[in-house]
Structure 1
Amino acid sequence: MLLEEMTMAEFEEGLSTCRTAYIPFGSVEEHGRHLPLSTDTIEAYEVGKRAAEKVPLFIAPPIHYGSCRSTSRHPGTVSISTTTLKALLKDIVRSLHLHGIVNFIVLTGHAGGSHKMALQDAGEEILLELPDINVAVVTEYDLAKEAGAHLVETPGDAHAGEIETSRILHSHPHLVKGTSPEEYPTFPKGILVRDKRSFWPGGVWGDPARATAEKGRLLETLVAEKIVELVKTLESRRW
């Protein structure tokens, strides 16, 4: 059930069978020279749609912005603060809760460390504020890497590489503009550098050339199955 396409009456009717919402977080972030800035958002949203085909699930409109530190100097990246990110999640949960939603799956397509931690912190805080809710915070990339380990050929593949290029080749092939060179950046340990692009010029972490649409289809299916399992687990008890 896609919230953005539902009427008031359809939403109210949906509440009779479903009290679980899936909230996809993405980013506006560089993904090499070949993938769209909305890659993280697309992945998170598409997985939710596939999961909703298997179990009753309200799919909230995606949040297109995230906290992007490592790519902040790359052209096209638009980053928000972790404070804003936390506030967004908590406000969305509060509002959906007023309508009777009690289970929340927060899935982020952006895997930046500070971004993930901010969402987890917000989840912990709202869990204490609203004692009748359940919350799960998961990272789409981590699920894809784990579930699709047998499909991925690139050791250490991470950003805009084999996994993400495969995903977009499957769901939005018209947005893939060729490929980018294989790249594995190295940042100085413990040093906070201002111009991170100088250590990561191409914005790729992995090998996009190994991507295929079929891998993307299989990865999307595997991650959606993980979300279905999570929905059932979250709804099974008070956590």
Structure 2
Amino acid sequence: MSELSSYLPQRINSGPFVTSYSLPALQGKLGQQPWHLPICSLTTATSELAALGPLVLPPLYREAMDESLQTALVARISECFPCFQGTRQRTQVSDQLEVVQLPAGPAGEVQEGQIVAFSVDTAVEEHGPHLPLATDTIQSYGVLSQLAQEVPELHLVRPVDYGHLTWGLPFGMSVDITPELLTRYVTGFANAVCRALQPRALYVVDVHGSIVHREAIQEGLRQSECSQFAFRWLHEPLVEFAGERGDQHAGGVETVLVNRFNPALVDTDWWPGRIDELMAGQMDLATALGLSDDVRDFVAHVEQAEDRGTPCNGIVGVVENADQLDAELLLQRMLAVASDDLQSLGATLP
């Protein structure tokens, strides 16, 4: 459950997990192999998941689901991946999503008295040509990992890798599990973690920008058996650098932060040498917000842009904003609010 170094992406466009790959890299794999969706235990070893490769989606955890929720989640993921139902891409591919039931894993090690932390991000969400799908999760665990070095009672476990999104669906390689399913899954995941590890509190974070996504997470936590928890949107202290500059998704802010945590996760074939191409394909925030109420409108906009020969590349933001940013300052702001949260949960900080 806490086997993170081999589970989280370490290098873009490498390894068995789709979360490590960029949108164009995965588009290049369409039609080659079946895509595998594991259903496993919280303690299933990463090596068992990797052995399903070469194209493995993040797992669903059976301890977090009853049969009806599992059925609904698998059906929804199948609607979205690898290409969203209702898009032109979907009619052009015949790729299969294979659900793989893995055997139960060993019992987890009790973490009584500890604060258990995890993220609920959209780890299967395109982030343009130069960043991996798991860009949000990478940022969340970049912050959590640094905190864990300083706070001995903070124990990190694997993330919830699915959430609610809209902007990625027209481009493919993105999964939206809907707010209602997200709330149910977060409740089940929180309950499973608390029963297995018996922590004194949960600390849950995310980076994904959707307000609806965040509200669904918090409702899931409120409905859980966990009596003490805190939730934080880690980009909250970065609004002046991100949203207020129209730089919301896969733009300058996320690029410099991913590069700060691990430069190997930014595709050097694109960044920074081809920044002009990235800028040419990015969508402005106002346009994306205007299309967000109806995904069909968003799909039509993206497909019409492709037909005109001016394709969108999945960035909603201002990638050139990177030149105006100090990644260390952004990180320190995120760490500051997270440290305050942990203190509110009774953690001992240096």
Both structures adopt the same fold (TM-score exceeding 0.5): yes
Distance 1:215 1:77, change over 3 A: same
Q: Is the 8 A contact 1:20 1:103 kept in 2?
A: yes
Residues 3-52 of structure 1 deviation map (CA, whole Å, 9 limit, x = unaligned): 226x999944x53xx42111212221111222111101111111110111
Question: Corresponding residue for 2:54?
Answer: none
Greater shift, 158-167 or 109-118, is seen at 109-118
- Does 2:204 correspond to 1:102? no
Structure-2 change in CA distance of 1:198 and 1:88 (3 Å): same
Aligned pair 1:162/2:264, yes or no?
no
Deviates more, 1:219-228 or 1:41-50: 219-228
Q: Which runs of 5+ in 1 are unaligned?
A: none
CA shift digits 1:158-210 (9 cap, x unpaired): 11112101111112222323242154142448952414144463322322223
Query: What is the aligned residue count?
Result: 224
Question: Is residue 2:326 matched to residue 1:203?
Answer: no
Q: Offset at 1:156? A: 2.8
Match of 1:46 among 129, 142, 152: 142
Quick check: 1:71–1:196 contact (8 Å CA) kept in 2?
A: no
Equivalent-residue separation in structure 1 for 2:233 and 2:146 (angstroms): 16
Alignment correspondent of 2:218: 120
CA separation in 1, counterparts of 2:327 and 2:116? Answer: 25
Which 10-residue stretch deviates more, 172-181 or 161-170? 172-181
Partner of 2:12: none
Is contact 2:246–2:318 with CA below 8 Å preserved after alignment? no
- Residues 68-87 of structure 1: per-residue CA shift (max 9 Å, x gap): 12321113212223233223
Q: Name the CA shift for 1:93/1:152 in 2 (closer, same or farther; >3 Å).
A: closer
How big is the shift at 1:118? 1.0
Bigger Rg, which one: 2
Question: What does 1:168-183 correspond to in 2, within 5 Å?
Answer: 168-177=258-267, 178=271, 179=275, 180-181=278-279, 183=283
Cα distance in 2, alignment partners of residues 120 and 58 from structure 1: 20
Q: Distance in 1 between matches of 2:335 and 2:167?
A: 28
Match of 1:77 among 164, 171, 174: 174
Q: Quick one: structure 1 residues 100 and 167, their matched pair in 2 at CA, closer, same or farther if it must change by over 3 Å? A: same
Match of 2:14 in 1: none
Gap change, CA 1:163 and 1:4, over 3 Å in 2: same
The 1:73/1:207 distance shift into structure 2, 3 A limit, reads: same
Indicate how the Cα distance of structure 1 residues 188 and 163 shifts in structure 2: closer, same or farther if over 3 A, else same: closer
**Aligned counterparts of 1:164 and 1:10: Cα–Cα separation in 2:** 33
* 2:291–2:298 contact (8 Å) kept in structure 1: no
Q: Any conservation in 2 of the 1:154–1:206 contact (CA below 8 Å)? A: no
Superposition RMSD in Å: 3.2
Q: Provide the C-alpha distance between the structure 2 equivalents of 1:190 and 1:92, rounded to a whole number of angstroms.
A: 28
Report the 3-state secondary structure (helix = DSSP H, G, I; strand = E; otherwise coil) of the residue aligned with 1:211. helix
Amino acid at match of 2:203: I
Sort the Cα spacing of 1:227 and 1:190 in 2 relative to 1 into closer, same or farther, 3 A: closer
The equivalent residue for 1:184 is: 284
Please state if 1:19 is matched with 2:114: yes
Instruction: Determine which structure has greater relative contact order: mean sequence separation of CA pairs < 8 Å that are 6+ residues apart, divided by chain length.
Output: 1
Counterpart mapping for 1:212-223 below 5 A: 215-223=326-334
1:138 is matched with which residue: 232, 235, 241? 232
In structure 1, C-alpha distance between the alignment counterparts of 2:183 and 2:236, rounded to whole Å = 20
Taking the aligned partners of 2:212 and 2:283, their CA distance within structure 1 comes to: 22
Question: Which residue number corresponds to residue 194 of structure 1?
Answer: 296
Residue 124 to residue 171, structure 1, CA distance change in 2 (3 Å): same
CA spacing shift, 1:174–1:47, aligned 2, 3 Å: same
| TM-score of the two chains, using structure 2 as the length reference | 0.56
What's the CA shift string for 1:114-164, capped at 9, x where partnerless?
Answer: 2212102112222xx45xx21222212224x15xx4x67972321111210
**1:227 correspondence with 2:338:** yes
Alpha-carbon distance change, 198 to 31 in structure 1, aligned in 2, over 3 angstroms: farther
